[in-house]
Structures are given as C-alpha cells and as structure tokens.
Copies of this chain bind each other. A is one copy, B any other.
Amino acid sequence: MTIKSFNPPIRTLMGPGPSDVHPRILGAMARPTIGHLDPLFVGMMDEMKTLLQYAFKTKNELTLSVSAPGSAGMETSFVNLVEPGDTVVVCQNGVFGGRMKENVERCGAKAVMVQDDWGMPVDPQKVEDALKANPEAKLVAFVHAETSTGAQSDAQTIARLAHEHDALVIADAVTSLGGSELDVDAWEIDAIYSGSQKCLSCTPGLSPVSFSARAVEVIKNRKTRVQSWFLDLNLVMSYWGGGTKRAYHHTAPINALYGLHEALVMLQEEGLENSWKRHYGLHLALRAGFEAMGLSLIVPEAARLPQLNTVAIPEGVDEAQVRAILLNRYNLEIGAGLGALAGKVWRFGLMGHSANAKNVIFCLAALEAVLTELNAGIQRGVAVQAAQKLIISQGY
C-alpha cells in the first residue's frame, strides 16, 4: 500500500452546497493551530459569537457554532428541547422535514406531520390546524429554506402561530443564513441552526446555532437529561459562554473555526443586507438565462429561494449524463434531485462566494453547450445575453 497526498481539482461548486470557498477562508484554515483553551482562542470564540449574532440578527446569548455539520445542529436543537412524551408539530415539504421527524421520534416524542408538496412552501393554515388539533404541542419545527427543493417558507408567520398556541419554534436555516432575509429576533424564532458550507461559503463541518432566552429556560428546566452528552447545551454553554473561566467540554475544531470566523468577517465587510441583495440579483440573472433557454423553475415565484434554483429537466434528457459532462469536462458541480424530486430536477446553487457574475455566465454557457450537444431542444445563443443584461443593470 502506498497512498499519496490528495490533490483535488478546482471545481466550480454550484450544487446545493458546499459552495465555492473563498481563498481568504482557505488561507485562514491553514493558520497555525493553537490550543482550544488558549486565551487568544477564547477571544476568537467571543468574536465568533458576536459575528454569528450579526448574521442571525439576534441578541441571543446562546449563539455558537456546534462542532459538527448541520445535521448535528439539527440534532442539537431537538435533543435539547424535546423530552420523551412531548408532541412536536413537524412541517415537511422536502427531505429535511423527514429528518426532523426522525429526530423527534429518536427523542421518544410524537411527531405530528404537516405535509406540503415538494417545491411548495409550508402552508401556515395547516400549521394552525395542527396546533388546534394538538393543543399539547410543545414545539413547531420547519425548514426555512428547503435545500432539497428550493422553496422558502414564511418563518415569521409560522413562529407567530406557534407562539399563539404556546409552542416554541425550531427553524432550519441551513441554506438561508447569509443568503436571504432572516431576522431571528424580529421573527421570534426560539431555536435555529445552519451550516457553514452554504451561503457563508466556508468549508463544511460546522453548524451555527442560536437559542432564545425562552428556549434556554426550557433546556435548563428539563425533567430528563439530554440524551446526547456531546450535544448537551447545558455542558456546551459552560465552554462557549463561560467568559475567561471556560470549562473544558470537548476539543473544538480549531482550524475549522478559523475558517468560519474569516467567512463571518467577510460577511460583515460586505454587509448582511448587501449579501442578501447580491444573492437575489444574481439569481434573477441566472433565472433569466434559464428561461431564455426554455427551462423552467419548479418553485412558484413568491416562494423561490435565490440561492437554490430548482430547474425541471427537459424531456428525454439523461440528467445524470448532463451532470457528469459538466463535472468532468468543465469541473462544474450542480446538484441532482433528492427524494420525490430525484430524476426530475437539477439544483443550481448560488450560495455565498459562488454567487458571482462569472459563475452565472459560465454555468449558463456550459449548460447550453452540453444540452445542445445532447439535442435537448433548447433555445440557443440567448441565455448568456439575457443574464448579462441583468448583471449589468444591477451592477454586479
């Protein structure tokens, strides 16, 4: 056995995440490792909290980065807030609502499912009906930005309904944080989790989370111990929140946190609202290109996520072949459909650093070339120009 160093190619990442990681962030990850209890590292963690509060638009004290990917952020939210015997209303309109159900059940609780079609937002009326039918419900959980479909749901309304029925709300913001409007305090979201590798453009592996004072009360007053030692926020709090006297809990992923810190510094430099605007503006350009080609987006306009564009596959096209050609010839990664949408859609991410004019133009040109080669019957020679018009008019 002789295995050599791994040297990855330079891909353009326009799938559902990870997104293109900026060289500044990669550079930060290569800085010298220091100890997880080093006073300078602890200072960096304090900055990280401030930066995450900025990104989430919250003053929540309990705002930190879970030392594992977004799925662990989801699990952190559920295992800390749910106890055996609880009832949780879970909204499902894609893959991740299903994963929430798994989490609820593994906590020994009951999941009341609110189903919507994949590609549609969560219907608040159904949420209200479920809350009326299950007055004992302790929580409502929903996905703000469904990465598997490209639909965004009305977080503010869902949170309001939950509170009207004395329930807390858990929001999955894996794909929304940094890419489209999100206002944790104004919308009164009690628990929220995200991922480092989407609109923050960091490498995968970390999950920013935030919990309201009300959620913290629930966690502190649990009747049973949190089933996960690693994700128990009562323990994690004393490491992240302990000021200068931090209690050792686990060894933090030092260099990954350097990367997330740098990503958040860049977000602050650009300005959160400017980042939302950039994602939306470039989405308009990409979409104009798709439509000029004759392709259509499956999500209704009002619920479309700018950062995740779900395109119906033209009839007769072998979707996997298209993705393989894009990857192998152009080093361009786009996403396949998942679950109910497998084989029916492609997912084009425009997340974080990937949301730039070069990527939009390149992606449209490469896709047009491949679809033309495969005789997919698209409109030729118009997509790039349609996109460029919007890129110029918006100044990107």
Q: Does A237 contact B (CB under 8 A)?
A: no
For A251, give its contact among B7, B44, B69 (CB under 8 Å). Answer: B69
Q: A41 contacts B8, CB within 8 Å?
A: yes
Q: Does A99 contact B (CB under 8 A)?
A: yes
Q: B15 contacts A32, CB within 8 Å?
A: no
Q: B30 contacts A5, CB within 8 Å?
A: no
Instruction: Kindly identify, within residues 9 to 45 of chain A, every residue whose CB is under 8 Å from any CB belonging to chain B.
Output: 9-11, 13, 15, 17-18, 20-21, 24, 26-36, 38-41, 44
Q: A34 contacts B6, CB within 8 Å?
A: no
Interface of A, helix, strand, loop or mixed by DSSP:
loop
Q: Does A229 contact B (CB under 8 A)?
A: yes
Q: A253 contacts B36, CB within 8 Å?
A: no
Residues of B within 8 A of A47 (CB): 3, 6
Residues of B within 8 A of A24 (CB): 5
Residues of B within 8 A of A197 (CB): 33, 251
For A8, give its contact among B32, B50, B99 (CB under 8 Å). Answer: B32
Instruction: Kindly identify, within residues 54 to 106 of chain A, every residue whose CB is under 8 Å from any CB belonging to chain B.
Output: 54, 67-72, 74-75, 79, 99, 102-103, 105-106
Q: Does A225 contact B (CB under 8 A)?
A: yes
Which has the most chain B C-beta neighbours within 10 Å: A26, A29, A47, A195? A29
Q: Among A165-173, A260-268, A282-290, A369-377, which stretch is in contact with chain B?
A: A260-268
Interchain nearest-CB distance for A394 vs B (Å): 27
Q: A225 contacts B106, CB within 8 Å?
A: yes
For A32, give its contact among B11, B54, B256 (CB under 8 Å). Answer: B11
Instruction: Kindly identify, within residues 195 to 239 of chain A, every residue whose CB is under 8 Å from any CB belonging to chain B.
Output: 195, 197, 203-205, 225-230
Residues of B within 8 A of A99 (CB): 229
Chain A 162-180 near chain B by CB (<8 Å), digits 1 or 0: 0000000000000000000
Q: A70 contacts B106, CB within 8 Å?
A: no
Residues of B within 8 A of A251 (CB): 17-18, 69-71, 195, 197, 204-205
Interchain nearest-CB distance for A32 vs B (Å): 5
Q: B261 contacts A6, CB within 8 Å?
A: yes
What are 5 of the A-B contact pairs (CB < 8 Å)? A8-B31, A33-B204, A71-B250, A205-B251, A205-B253
Q: Across chains A and B, which 8 residue pairs bring their CB atoms closest together, nearest first?
A: A205-B253, A68-B68, A30-B30, A71-B250, A203-B255, A204-B251, A26-B30, A21-B33
- Given known contacts A38-B11, A106-B226, A27 and B28 CB-to-CB distance under 8 angstroms: no
Q: Does A1 contact B (CB under 8 A)?
A: yes
Q: B30 contacts A229, CB within 8 Å?
A: no
